[in-house]
Amino acid sequence: MKILVTGGLGFIGSHTTVELQNKGYEVIIIDDLSNSTEKVLDGIVAITGKRPIFEKIDLKDRSKVEDFFKRHQDVAGVIHFAASKAVGESVEKPLLYYENNIGTLVYLLKELSKKNKSSFIFSSSCTVYGQADKMPITESAPVKTAESPYGNTKQMGEEIIRDTCKVTPGINAIALRYFNPMGAHPSAEIGELPIGVPQNLVPFITQTGMGIREQLSVFGGDYPTEDGTCIRDYIYVVDLAKAHVVALERLLNGKNQDNYEVFNVGTGKGSSVLEVIKSFEKVSGKKLNYKIVDRRPGDITSAYADTTKANKVLGWKAESTLDEAMKSAWLWEEKIRK
């Protein structure tokens, strides 16, 4: 069965490609290489023994999207990761984010609506909840006004899919609202490969531990939390990748209750920035050079998931601990710097 993975050479996309191939699916990757590299294919092959089909396509080019679906009419499902994803950058370049994250989604859905039946998994985010009123966050928590254009593109993306599903019974879709992915494949063949300065906490920590970055800036030490730093739900990327496969199979096997469903994907446990730093120091045996600086615009105090629905309805659960995920991130960092 053919599955299209957009952004399949990215961090989560590459790990999901591995899990799909391990389950016998034929994967086609579309990626524009704006935040990834073709070398990731070699890592996927090293793990699975199979090279996915790769097409370098910019999904903003509608004619190329149309052409792709004409050539691959037997695509049974789509997992859509391709998007710009840095909160800070989105505040500075909102139009780039709206074009790249919304325009491309519309083009994909237009092609899928031409098919009799299609299964669509959307890479959404806990940013849709903004600063939620209570923790842990359930799927029924209100979607708040977005704190950043990035968060807004995820909210709008969900709305566009929901509206499309209402009038297109052939499309079955699941939005996975995930929390903070981290870590790398245990083989250390693939992992998070930020281009330039990392926008995510964990690669910044591991690069600082390696001496590539002089110091980690911890944005805000005066939040109303136990140690004053932000709290997030850090989920191991392989656990997250498996959630995508479980969600896709729910649609392919017709187990979904509605043709548009939403699930939180997290561990259900919040960790502060300082706890994440301590985890790194524990698994690496290194002292991390960090400094608490001013808060960053668009950041919220706390976000961690209530995963009851994913556990019970999807039948998926995060398995790995923060320390295990951190250890894999550090092994990956050590490997790529050799």
Residue 160 amino acid letter: I
Task: Say whether 150 is catalytic.
Answer: yes
Q: How many of the other CB atoms lie within 10 Å of CB of 94?
A: 15
Q: Around Cβ 121, how many Cβ atoms within 10 Å?
A: 25
| Calpha distance 250→269 (Å, rounded) | 25
Q: 299: exposed, middle or buried (C-beta count within 10 Å: 0-12, 13-18, 19+)?
A: middle
The span from the CA of 206 to the CA of 219, in Å, is 17
Sheet containing strand 26-31, edge to edge, reads 53-56, 26-31, 2-6, 75-80, 118-125, 171-178, 260-265
Catalytic residue among 150, 178, 223, 260: 150
Spacing of C-alpha 307 from chain mean position: 16
Closest CA to 329 of 162, 188, 121, 200: 188
| 149 cis-preceded (ω within 30 degrees of 0) | no
Question: Could you give the count of Cα atoms lying within 13 Å of 284 in the half-sphere of its Cβ?
Answer: 25
Residues identified as active-site: 150
